[in-house]
Amino acid sequence: MMYKKVPALLIAALLLLTGCGRALDRVTNLTPTDTVQELFTAANDAMAAQRYARAAKLYQDIKDGYPFSPYTIEAELSLGDAYFLYRQYTRAAEAYKDFEMLHPRHEAMPYVLYQLGLSLRLGYVSVDRSSTPIEEALEYFNRLVRTFPYTEYAEKAREEIQACRRLLAMRDVYIADVYWSTGNYLSAWTRYMHVIQEYPDITDAAAYSFAKGEVAYHRYLGRASEGVREDLEGTWKNLLNWL
């Protein structure tokens, strides 16, 4: 039976059934002598109350203080979820990576790989930053599709793969535009060509790159020596034939 993570909304519903007041009391009135079960219950209550920072601390306390408890594996996984829901995506990715390393054969692995990739993608804030997180996210999504192709998370991962490819294409367009703005038309043309060849499925980025690349090519060609001009013309013709 495939593992399915209990959604936070379901936890919230359970909290309402058991009484919000009692649940919040458990979250706020903990003592150093509380048992691991009490810590785990309080952490889950904090999650349901959307007190994600508090939940993350309690799950971390369980992970650090009770490594052999039957509650620890679930706490390790929920730690990633708490950070994710708190929009601390870098910390969420680290928690999911720890879980993957510690429990590589766990039934939740499709979920973990998906959440890991999603955390990396959502933590990427701008095309002017390093693309390493997106490249890493793409690796996790591709691995999920290869390893667990018939799970619901693999289906979601296929959509995320396209989203990652778009981000990578747009980052290359950004770099090409920077070269263009500084008059470095050869580097701009080379980068636009890379977009066309590597991301033809990102049609708007490819079309933009073709239009700008053609202008960059002719502008550089006007400055180039005859030998360089011949080499560039051959490369450009090959690209047109490839398209």
The predicted structure's pLDDT at residue 21: 45
What's the whole-model pTM score?
0.80
C-alpha distances in angstroms, 83 versus 61, 88, 90, 141?
A: 14, 5, 8, 20
Q: How many percent of the chain have pLDDT more than 70?
A: 78
pLDDT digits (tens, 9 = 90+) for 144-203: 999 999 999 999 999 999 999 999 999 999 999 999 999 999 999 999 999 999 999 999
pLDDT of residue 225: 62
pLDDT confidence bin for 223, thresholds 50/70/90 = confident
Torsion of CA 120, 100, 56, 151, to 10 degrees: 70
